[in-house]
Structure 1
Amino acid sequence: MKEKKSMIEEEKEDHLKSTKRIEMEEQLANPDEEPQEVISEKEEY
């Protein structure tokens, strides 16, 4: 059970890292926009 839990936690950490990396890349691509606005635009479409 502990091994499974640690694997899930690692996946969550990897997902957070990849999400932050995407946000940083979008911020660099659109320096005028705030990351929150980019996320809200994705949710609308």
Structure 2
Amino acid sequence: MRRAASLTWLSFITGMTVMASELAASRLVAPSFGSGTSSGERLP
């Protein structure tokens, strides 16, 4: 039971980390390549 709970927590943390890194990568790469979804979404 404890193993399943820790596994779920680990997968949750991994998913959040992957999402955050993908979001940061899209924000860093999109402006330099000019392939952003919208200019209004870009941070100053």
Q: TM-score, normalised by structure 2?
A: 0.65
Give aligned-pair identity as a percent.
Answer: 15
Q: How many residues align?
A: 34
**Structure with more relative contact order (C-alpha pairs < 8 Å, separation 6 or more):** 2
Runs of 4+ with deviation above 2 angstroms: 30-34
* Structure exhibiting the larger radius of gyration computed from Cα positions: 2
Stretches of structure 1 lacking an aligned partner (at least 5 in a row): 35-45
Higher helix proportion? 1
Stretches of structure 2 lacking an aligned partner (at least 5 in a row): 32-38
Q: TM-score, normalised by structure 1?
A: 0.64
